[in-house]
Amino acid sequence: MKIVSKLLAVLAVVACTVAAGCENVIEVAVPEGDATEVLRAAIDEAAAFDGRPVTIRLEAGDYHISRTRAARHVYYVSNTASAQENPDPTKHIGIWLKGLRNVVIDGNGARFVTHGEMTPIVIDSCTNVTLKNFSLAAADPSVPEFKVVAVDSISMTAEITAPSRFEIADGRFYFVGEDWRFPDERYPRLAQVFYPEENVTLRCDSPIEDYSEAYTVGDNLVRFVYNSVPDVRTGEIYQFRHGIRSEVCGFINRSRDVRIENAEFNFLGNFGLVGQFSENITYDNIRCRPDAGTERTNAGFADFVQMSSCKGRVRIINSYFEGAHDDPVNIHGTHLVAVASDAPDRLTVRYMHAQTYGFLPFAAGDSVEIVNRHTLNALSSASVKNVRQLNEYDYELTLDRVVFPLPDGMIIDDLAVENISWTPEVEISNNYFARIPTRGILITTRGKSIIKDNVFFRMPMSAILVSDDARGWYESGPVCDLTICGNTFFECGSPVIAVWPEVERFDTPVHRNITIEDNRFILGEGSVAVSVRESDSIIIRHNLFEIGNSDNAVSADSLVEVRNTSGFIMSDNHVEKRVGS
């Protein structure tokens, strides 16, 4: 009875008819204590409008959401954790939107604060949903940090970065959060080092693996004693995580017309914002970065944005990405590998990468392409008549045409299958990428795509990777129409742009129709600007390549590598010495 009274006290529903020119609004005030149930009640109220447009408008303030009071639902999410790493795929969900239509959640400056490892947001089987004007932070971010403040011949002293907490038991040091601690012997342990002067993070060995003793020497100060002190320096900042993607920050599943706009993500725990088998997703003015009001340098446990087997248009615009532990943006499909056939028009296919499984990869009416795994060239296409799930990894497809017999010399496990009905058009424009240990953007989609007017700052790997593989991560597929224009690449890894389909042997081109124009490449010593392999119809023109001082003349051609590529055109590119280099 007290819970009901409390909910009524913080929920005021103002409903006006559309005919009267008013919007339907659910006003939510900031509750005392945990807000998980209050937010759930507001969502239930919105569901009662049964598709009539409604806005949930929050009062500005902090809304604490917790793993212990979260909704619990099983979701299998692409690129997360294997069954061995995470036997129970149940997600602990703070804001669960299921089967809603025409709903806006207007945070109005609200800040959601998570407690414990959890999935703050799920949008499942929804249409026309917008989340806007909010921020997300963690009371106990599962990527804790410390700063090295002193090093001597036998020890390192580190200052623990708030809000991370710690404990020391029998000389052993642990970061602690709600229902978790690090290190945990059950899980792998990963680390990353941040160099403040360069605004760069790199993956590294952990400096707290081989100490002999730890003890406090002051408020938030811990001294680690070693037989052999690791190679650390004062001022360096170390970030730690256990590496198991058991939850995600946000999950957009089987939904259409979803927008997330004007949102600040100060911590994306366990994994990032994942779109899976969804249509028309827009991220506009999202800022994935540490809270400027803190000393934290990390904002993400892994990727920031992952789009797996989506369609329609994916737009990532006017946004800011700084401080992840993996790629800021990855857009791809999934290759499933053929494992059996008991009829000429039937094929059993399997999820092969352990971290992607369990969700239905095809539906009746979907178009598929059957690919040679070794060359990544299409052998044939078909329409799916029926899908039968055999287990969490294997699916039997009945197709509308005969697939077998195979060409001479091929066996069944030479084949991979991609669902080409779920491949989006993509726009990634006017964004900033920095403090990333890997690449900036991975893109493998056949839809018309553009990457324009972005800034990539010191990616240690390629700023843009156009991949496609059926033997590693199994991330499909070919790129057929991509423009990369108007971007600035500042001292990124070599090659800065890599068009590298992962073929075992070359037959015919995999990627085609890629234009790279009007970009500025500020190159590091010895860097290659563009490398293209196994592709066709590639245009590189009107780009500026800025290089360091060199006694030798450097041509634009020498900054581009090409292999097994036809229809290649380079024109009107310019090389300049860097000012002040």
Q: What is the pLDDT of residues 356-375, one digit of tens each?
A: 999 999 999 999 999 999 99
DSSP characters over 359-380: S----TT-EEEEEETTT--EEE
Query: What does the pLDDT read at residue 578?
Result: 85
CA–CA dist 63, 68 (Å, integer): 15
Helix or strand or coil: residue 166? strand
Q: Is 403 left (phi over 0), alpha (psi -120 to 50) or beta?
A: alpha
CA–CA dist 487, 496 (Å, integer): 12
User: From the DSSP assignment, how many helices (H) and strands (E) are in the chain?
Assistant: 2, 51
**Tokens 């939510």, located at residue:** 28
- Top-confidence residue, 185 or 65: 65
CA–CA dist 421, 387 (Å, integer): 15
CA–CA dist 423, 523 (Å, integer): 33
CA Rg, the chain, in Å?
25
Tokens representing residue 391 in the block: 């287990």
Confidence of residue 177 (pLDDT cuts 50, 70, 90): very high
β-bridge partners, 576: 546
Confidence of residue 402 (pLDDT cuts 50, 70, 90): confident
Q: What is the pLDDT of residues 232-253, one digit of tens each?
A: 999 999 999 999 999 999 999 9
Residue 439 in contact with residue 456, Cβ under 8 Å? no
Residue 272 in contact with residue 302, Cβ under 8 Å? yes
Tokens representing residue 388 in the block: 């039968």
Nearest CA among 360, 380, 384 for reference residue 370? 380
Helix or strand or coil: residue 13? strand
pTM, to two decimals? 0.95
Residue 509 in contact with residue 540, Cβ under 8 Å? no
Query: What does the pLDDT read at residue 9?
Result: 41
Q: Which amino acid is at 526?
A: G
Query: What does the pLDDT read at residue 14?
Result: 39
Q: Express as a percent the part of the chain with pLDDT over 70.
A: 96
- List helix spans (H) across 167-286: none
Confidence of residue 288 (pLDDT cuts 50, 70, 90): very high
User: Could you tell me the CA-to-CA distances from 124 to 253, 264, 275, 304, 479 in Å, in that order?
Assistant: 5, 22, 10, 19, 28
Query: What does the pLDDT read at residue 22?
Result: 56
Q: What are phi and psi of 15, to 5 degrees?
A: -115, 120
Confidence of residue 581 (pLDDT cuts 50, 70, 90): low
Q: Express as a percent the part of the chain with pLDDT over 90.
A: 92
β-bridge partners, 260: 131, 283
pLDDT value at 507 more than 70: yes
Q: What is the pLDDT of residues 75-109, one digit of tens each?
A: 999 999 999 999 999 999 999 999 999 999 999 99
Q: What are phi and psi of 573, to 5 degrees?
A: -95, 150
**Tokens 């069954």, located at residue:** 83
pLDDT value at 16 more than 60: no
Report the chain's mean pLDDT, rounded to a whole number. 94
Helix or strand or coil: residue 46? helix
Helix (H) / strand (E) element for 45: namely helix 36-47
CA–CA dist 45, 427 (Å, integer): 35
Q: Is 454 left (phi over 0), alpha (psi -120 to 50) or beta?
A: beta
Residue 207 in contact with residue 225, Cβ under 8 Å? no
